[in-house]
Amino acid sequence: MPLASVYTHGMTKNRLLPWRVKASRHIHKDRWISVRADDCVTADGVDVAPFYVLEYPDVVLVLAITANDQVVLVRQYRHGLGEVTTEFPGGIIDPSDPDPIAAAARELADETGYFSDDLRIVGQLSAGAAK
């Protein structure tokens, strides 16, 4: 059997098809997180209910490199892990931030004391695969 035929469920001409949402309700919603329960039907007609979706506010992460080619990192306690981690500076894009660059500049300054007039967006990712 050709390998391609194994992975064809829910696909048309090698394109994955989205699930249809029959119903959706928020289980919990506050400024930090939203939990949504969707009742879905897959492209193959299989009911998936509930399918839980975690929705988070948009965030920025800053890869800051000093004039001496050193990467700026922060150490923070992360309660969900119960550990202190070393990570890039960053945080939630506040409603008062005019754009992600302004949020990045604010977070960089707040968390590290560093400032930059040369910030730019280099990529985008989705942590929870939700819009």
Please count the CA atoms within 13 angstroms of the CA of 5 that sit on its side-chain side. 2
C-alpha torsion 66→119→107→127, nearest 10: -110
- 24, two tokens: 């959706």
Please name which of 5, 8, 101, 108 lies closest in space to residue 58, comparing C-alpha atoms.
101
Print pLDDT tens along the chain (131 aa).
444 444 455 655 667 899 999 999 999 999 888 999 999 999 999 999 999 999 888 999 999 999 999 999 999 999 999 999 999 999 999 999 999 999 999 999 999 999 998 999 998 877 665 55
The domain locations on the chain are 18-55, 59-112
Give bridge partners of residue 59 from the DSSP assignment.
92
Q: What integer pLDDT is reported at residue 5 of this predicted model?
A: 44
Q: What integer pLDDT is reported at residue 131 of this predicted model?
A: 57
